[in-house]
Amino acid sequence: MIFHLSHSSGIPVYLQLMEQIRHGIETGALRAGERLPTIRSLAQELVINPNTVVRAYRELQHEGVVELRQGSGAYVGRSVVERGRVMAKAAKLVGLAIERLAALGLTEEEIRRIVENELAVARKSRDTEMA
């Protein structure tokens, strides 16, 4: 998998790298147990500091997305396979919902506002239940 970073996006490079690795897993481009590029090779390929790659890999390890093996490298975590399946199912559900909303005549912006509002309502409800 080839990663593409934007140094002018305003998003820290390590976060961009983390997101691209997650996306690769979610789309099936990266599979459980697959070895990721070495820190040195990825840093050279992307022309970034190796510490940036280390930070991204360590944070992904903390999330359980990546397994770091001493002397062997970084691998896509085996536990993320199920998460990828869940994400694929969720994407299908969202796609169907978007189709139905568009069929009602809603614009992309209206759909986006509805989704964001519903997420905010759900978050507030969860926060209230936890308090």
50 vs 124: which has the higher pLDDT: 50
Instruction: Read off the pLDDT band of 1 (50, 70, 90).
Output: low
CATH of domain 13-78: 1.10.10.10
125 vs 97: which has the higher pLDDT: 97
In this prediction, residues 61-85 reach a mean pLDDT of 85
In this prediction, residues 58-70 reach a mean pLDDT of 92
Q: Quick check: 17 pLDDT over 90?
A: yes
Compute the radius of gyration of the chain from its Cα atoms. Answer: 18
Mean per-residue pLDDT over the chain, rounded = 90
Structure tokens at 106: 């809603």
Could you give the 3-state DSSP secondary structure of residue 112? helix
Instruction: Read off the pLDDT band of 81 (50, 70, 90).
Output: low
Residue of 1, 7, 20, 2 whose CA lies nearest to 48: 7
Question: What predicted TM-score, i.e. pTM, was given to this entire model?
Answer: 0.64
- On whether the CB atoms of residues 78 and 64 are closer than 8 A, the answer is no
46 vs 26: which has the higher pLDDT: 46
Instruction: Read off the pLDDT band of 31 (50, 70, 90).
Output: confident
